C-alpha cells in the first residue's frame, strides 16, 4: 500500500490577503471621503457665521443710531420741560404779585371810601355849624395868614418836602408860608425844622428843640432859602420821626407839613402808624396836633400823587385835631378845621 503524502497548509492564502486588503481599502476610502467633505462644511459654516456677525453688527449700528436719536430727543424734552417749569414758576410769581397789588388796591379803595364818608360827614357838620353862626348873626372870617390855624402850642415842628417839584416850583412860596406861620406865634418855647425824610435843617439841633428868638427865626428863614436835601416826596417818614422823637406828655406840640406829593405805598398804613404813636393826653386829645399845607404842582407832573397827598393829609389832620389848607398858585382855596 502506498503511503499518502500530506501537504503543508499555508496560513496566509490569497483569499485571506484579499479580504484583508479589501478591509484596509474600505477604511482608507472612508478616511479619504471624510477628509474631503470636512473642509467644505467648515468653510460653509464660517461663511454663515461671518454673515451672521455682519448682520448683527449692522443691527448693533442701527440700534446705536436709534439710541443716540432717542437720547437727543430725550434731552430736548427734558430741556423743554425745564423751560416750561421755569415759565410756570414765573407765571405763579406774576400771579402772586398781581393778587398782592389787587389786594392793596382793594384795601386802598375801601380806605378812600371811608375817607369820603368821613369828609362828607365833616362837610355836613361844617354846613350846619355855619348855618347856626349865621342865624346868630356871627360870621366866621379867616383873616389869618394861614386860614383858621389855631395858636394851640408853644412847641412847633415843620416837616417840609424838599423834592424837586417843591424846589423848582414852590420853594419861594414855602418860605413865605413858613414865615407866616411863625408870625402867628409871637413867642415859642421850641422850634424844629425837618425834611420829609426825617433830616434836620440844623444838624447841631438833631433831636433837640431850637430856642426861639428873633435872630433864630431869621437864621431859620435864611438857611431854609438855600436848603437842599434828598426827598422821596413822601412826608410820612418825617412825620413819624418827629412824633417818635419829640412826643411827650409834658406839653402838646403843633406839627406843620409842607408838601405837594405822596408817593408812599399805602395811605392806610401811614394813618395807622400815626394813630399808634401819637397817643392822647389826659384830656383825650392827641398830644401832637397835625396841620398841613398842600402846594400846587405844575401840569407836567403826575397829578395822582398830589391827590394822594391831599387825601393823606386831610385824614391825618382830621384824626389829629389839625387843619388842612390846599393852596393854589397865588391864593388859598380851602381851609378845613377838624374837631
Structural contact between residues 264 and 316, judged by C-beta atoms closer than 8 angstroms: no
**DSSP assignments along 153-206, one per residue:** -SEEEEEE--SHHIIIIIHHHHHHHHHHHHHH-S--SEEEEEETTS-BSSGGGT
Host domain of residue 282: 155-337
User: Which residue did the predictor score with more confidence, 130 or 290?
Assistant: 290
Number of domains in the chain: 2
Domain assignment present for 146: no
User: Which residue did the predictor score with more confidence, 321 or 333?
Assistant: 321
Domain assignment present for 173: yes
| Residue 288 scores a pLDDT above 50 | yes
Per-residue model confidence (pLDDT) at position 197: 92
Q: Indicate whether 273 and 194 sit together in one domain.
A: yes
Per-residue model confidence (pLDDT) at position 23: 78
The candidate with the shortest Cα–Cα distance to 339, out of 51, 129, 81, is 129
Residue with cell 407866616: 180
Q: Can you give the CATH number for the domain in which 223 is found?
A: 3.40.50.410
Q: How confident is the model at residue 6 (pLDDT cuts 50, 70, 90)?
A: low
Structural contact between residues 288 and 247, judged by C-beta atoms closer than 8 angstroms: yes
| Residue 176 scores a pLDDT above 80 | yes
Q: How confident is the model at residue 93 (pLDDT cuts 50, 70, 90)?
A: confident
Tell me the average pLDDT across 235-249. Answer: 93
Cα(62)–Cα(83) distance, rounded to whole angstroms? Answer: 32
Q: Percent of the chain scored above 70 by pLDDT?
A: 74
Q: Give the SS3 label for residue 19.
A: helix
| Residue 141 scores a pLDDT above 50 | no
Q: Indicate whether 184 and 77 sit together in one domain.
A: no
Write b or e for each residue in 28-37: b if 16 or more Cβ atoms lie within 10 A of its Cβ, otherwise e.
Answer: eeeeeeeeee
Most confident stretch, 32-36, 83-87, 217-221 = 217-221
H/E stretch holding 237 reads helix 236-246
| Residue 1 scores a pLDDT above 80 | no
The mean predicted confidence, pLDDT, of the chain is: 79
Cα(273)–Cα(276) distance, rounded to whole angstroms? Answer: 5
| Residue 254 scores a pLDDT above 90 | yes
Tell me the average pLDDT across 147-162. Answer: 80
Domain assignment present for 333: yes
Cα(309)–Cα(320) distance, rounded to whole angstroms? Answer: 16
Per-residue model confidence (pLDDT) at position 144: 42
Q: Indicate whether 81 and 183 sit together in one domain.
A: no
Burial environment of residue 96 by CB neighbours within 10 A (0 to 12, 13 to 18, 19 or more): exposed
Q: Indicate whether 108 and 227 sit together in one domain.
A: no
Q: How confident is the model at residue 192 (pLDDT cuts 50, 70, 90)?
A: very high
Per-residue model confidence (pLDDT) at position 146: 44
User: Which residue did the predictor score with more confidence, 229 or 126?
Assistant: 229
Q: Indicate whether 52 and 184 sit together in one domain.
A: no
Burial environment of residue 80 by CB neighbours within 10 A (0 to 12, 13 to 18, 19 or more): exposed
Per-residue model confidence (pLDDT) at position 315: 93
**DSSP assignments along 261-300, one per residue:** ----S-HHHHHHHHHHHS-B-TTSSBSEEEEEEEPP--TT
User: Which residue did the predictor score with more confidence, 13 or 234?
Assistant: 234
Domain assignment present for 17: no
Tell me the average pLDDT across 75-104. Answer: 82
Amino acid at each position: 500500500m502506498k503511503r499518502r503524502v500530506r501537504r503543508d497548509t499555508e496560513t496566509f492564502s490569497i483569499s485571506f490577503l484579499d479580504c484583508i486588503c479589501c478591509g484596509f481599502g474600505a477604511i482608507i476610502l472612508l478616511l479619504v471621503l471624510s477628509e474631503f467633505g470636512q473642509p467644505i462644511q467648515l468653510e460653509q459654516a464660517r461663511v454663515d457665521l461671518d454673515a451672521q456677525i455682519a448682520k448683527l453688527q449692522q443691527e448693533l449700528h442701527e440700534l446705536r443710531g436709534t439710541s443716540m436719536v432717542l437720547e437727543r430727543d430725550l434731552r430736548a424734552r427734558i430741556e423743554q420741560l425745564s423751560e416750561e417749569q421755569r415759565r410756570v414758576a414765573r407765571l405763579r410769581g406774576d400771579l402772586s404779585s398781581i393778587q398782592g397789588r389787587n389786594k392793596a388796591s382793594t384795601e386802598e379803595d375801601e380806605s378812600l371810601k371811608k375817607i369820603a364818608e368821613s369828609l362828607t360827614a365833616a362837610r355836613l357838620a361844617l354846613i350846619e355849624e355855619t348855618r347856626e353862626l349865621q342865624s346868630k348873626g356871627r360870621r366866621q372870617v379867616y383873616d389869618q395868614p394861614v386860614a383858621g390855624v389855631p395858636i394851640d402850642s408853644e412847641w412847633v415842628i415843620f416837616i417840609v418836602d424838599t423834592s424837586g417839584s417843591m424846589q423848582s416850583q414852590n420853594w419861594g412860596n414855602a418860605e413865605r408860608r413858613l414865615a407866616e406861620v411863625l408870625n402867628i406865634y409871637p413867642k415859642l418855647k421850641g422850634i424844629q425844622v425837618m425834611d420829609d425824610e426825617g433830616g434836620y435843617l440844623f444838624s447841631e439841633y438833631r433831636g433837640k428843640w431850637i430856642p426861639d428868638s428873633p435872630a433864630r427865626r431869621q437864621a431859620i428863614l435864611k438857611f431854609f432859602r438855600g436848603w437842599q436835601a434828598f426827598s422821596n416826596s413822601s412826608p410820612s417818614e418825617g412825620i413819624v420821626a418827629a412824633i417818635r422823637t419829640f412826643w411827650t406828655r409834658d406839653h402838646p406840640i403843633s406839627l406843620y407839613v409842607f408838601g405837594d406829593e405822596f408817593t408812599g405805598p399805602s395811605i392806610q398804613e401811614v394813618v395807622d402808624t400815626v394813630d399808634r404813636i401819637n397817643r392822647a393826653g389826659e384830656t383825650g386829645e392827641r398830644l401832637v396836633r397835625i396841620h398841613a399845607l398842600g402846594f400846587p404842582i405844575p401840569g407836567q407832573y403826575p397829578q395822582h400823587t398830589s391827590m394822594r397827598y391831599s387825601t393823606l393829609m386831610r385824614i391825618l389832620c382830621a384824626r389829629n385835631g389839625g387843619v388842612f389848607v390846599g393852596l393854589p398858585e397865588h391864593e388859598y382855596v380851602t381851609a378845613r378845621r377838624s374837631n
